[in-house]
Structure 1
Amino acid sequence: MFDQLSELVKQFGGDAVVNNPAVPNEQNDAVIQEAGGSILTGLKDMVANGNINNLTEILSGKAAIDGNNPVVQQLTEKVTGNLGEKFGLSSDAAGSVAGGLIPQILGGLINKAKDPNQPGFNMSDLVSAISDGKGGGLMEAVSKYGGQFGLDQNNDGKVDMGDAMAAVSKKGGLGGLLGKLFGK
């Protein structure tokens, strides 16, 4: 997951980092790497701290990925602080890097995870990476909100392993189940 995230940071880092006069050219690669690591750590922190409602909304496409989104705001604060601390960038310079990268990177991650033509990269990989492979609270949110996304396969009012088994046995399998959750 970190490799895919790093590629997206490099892809979108041109304007926010490379063409930013506040970031010394010799620090471009390190700033890009730090931004990617900070974003992944920030997402993991959200899951670990139980802040998953907003994350679930953004992953499912129910919330806009912009500066008003709480997930974007929290990640922007984290990246801004880390860049300022590690590279001595001013708050404004670090904030412009974070603000220029985060919405594009999150959008890119979600689009790649939803795209069936992206081999080796899917929503379950993303969920696994940000939950340290446990699913944790994020999977609890799927259970809690799964009915809203049409995941209650057996209409018993909850999303559980029975629904997963029913979805896997139906046309579309597990991909279809995840597709329903994430709007595909």
Structure 2
Amino acid sequence: MLDQLTQLVQQFGEEAVVKNNAVPNKHNEEVIKETGNSIFSGLQKIASEGGVEQLAGLFQEKTIDSSNPVVQQLTQQLSGNLGEKFGLNTDTSSNVAGTLIPQVLNSLVNKAKDPKDGSFQISDIVNAISGNSGQASNIMDTISKYGVQFGLDQNADGKLDVGDVMVIAKSGGLSGFFGRLFKK
């Protein structure tokens, strides 16, 4: 997943890093790589510290912006890393982090929500950031809980599972199911 995340950072890094005169060209590649690493390790840290609701909440957002607590935490971490590792001043590192983090997370979450895009799966993301630990099931349980709250529990068993997906698939397709789950 880290490679895929780095590809997203490269995609959005053109303006924030490469065309940014405040970032020395000799550091462009390293800044992009550090951004991907910081996002990944930051998400892992949030998961390990019990931020299950915050992470699950990312998948409920229509647009992830700088007001999101996960974005704020990741931006602060990346900004510090860029200043420390590459000598970027506070304004430059804050601008790079504040631009890239929301863009990358929006793209990541939207790709995971899109049933036609197989590049990211919610379960794969959750497993990667939780290290395939018990936290993965906690995060998936929280996502499932939100799905039940949104009326997606089709068989009234109190959980969101494959049985619910099958009922919805027969009556309107998976795109409707994921659309309702993620408010699309």
TM above 0.5, yes or no, is yes
**Matching residue's letter, 1:30:** E
The alpha-carbon deviation at position 178 of structure 1 amounts to 7.5
The alpha-carbon deviation at position 143 of structure 1 amounts to 4.4
Q: Which residue of 2 aligns with 1:152?
A: 153
| 1:116 matched to 2:115 | yes
| 1:59 matched to 2:56 | no
* Runs of 5+ consecutive residues of structure 2 not aligned to the other structure: none
Q: Deviations over 1:63-116 (max 9, x none)?
A: x41111111101101111111111121121111110110111011111111223
Contact 1:50 1:137 in 2 (8 A): no
Q: Which residue of 2 aligns with 1:21?
A: 21
Q: Which residue of 1 aligns with 2:181?
A: 181
Could you say if the C-alpha distance between residues 23 and 61 of structure 1 is closer, same or farther in structure 2, counting changes exceeding 3 Å? same
Greater alpha carbon shift after TM alignment, 106-115 vs 122-131: 122-131
Q: Which residue of 1 aligns with 2:139?
A: 138
* Runs of 5+ consecutive residues of structure 1 not aligned to the other structure: none
Q: Which residue of 2 aligns with 1:92?
A: 91
Could you say if the C-alpha distance between residues 168 and 144 of structure 1 is closer, same or farther in structure 2, counting changes exceeding 3 Å? closer
Q: Identity of counterpart residues, as a percentage?
A: 49
- Which whole-Å CA distance do the structure 2 matches of 1:123 and 1:144 have between them? 15
- Which whole-Å CA distance do the structure 2 matches of 1:43 and 1:118 have between them? 22
Q: Which residue of 2 aligns with 1:10?
A: 10
Question: What TM-score comes out, normalization by structure 2 length?
Answer: 0.84
Q: Which residue of 2 aligns with 1:167?
A: 164
RMSD over aligned Cα, in angstroms?
2.5
Contact 2:56 2:140 in 1 (8 A): no
- Which whole-Å CA distance do the structure 2 matches of 1:67 and 1:176 have between them? 28
- The count of corresponding residues between Structure 1 and Structure 2 is 179
Contact 1:23 1:93 in 2 (8 A): yes
**Matching residue's letter, 2:116:** N
Could you say if the C-alpha distance between residues 24 and 75 of structure 1 is closer, same or farther in structure 2, counting changes exceeding 3 Å? same
The alpha-carbon deviation at position 177 of structure 1 amounts to 9.9
Q: Which residue of 2 aligns with 1:31?
A: 31
Give the alignment of 1:44-83 within 5 angstroms.
Answer: 44-61=44-61, 64-83=63-82
The alpha-carbon deviation at position 176 of structure 1 amounts to 6.6
**Matching residue's letter, 1:166:** G
Could you say if the C-alpha distance between residues 142 and 70 of structure 1 is closer, same or farther in structure 2, counting changes exceeding 3 Å? same
Q: Secondary structure at the match of 1:170?
A: helix
Question: What TM-score comes out, normalization by structure 1 length?
Answer: 0.84
The alpha-carbon deviation at position 168 of structure 1 amounts to 4.9
- Which whole-Å CA distance do the structure 1 matches of 2:162 and 2:25 have between them? 52
- Which whole-Å CA distance do the structure 2 matches of 1:104 and 1:113 have between them? 14
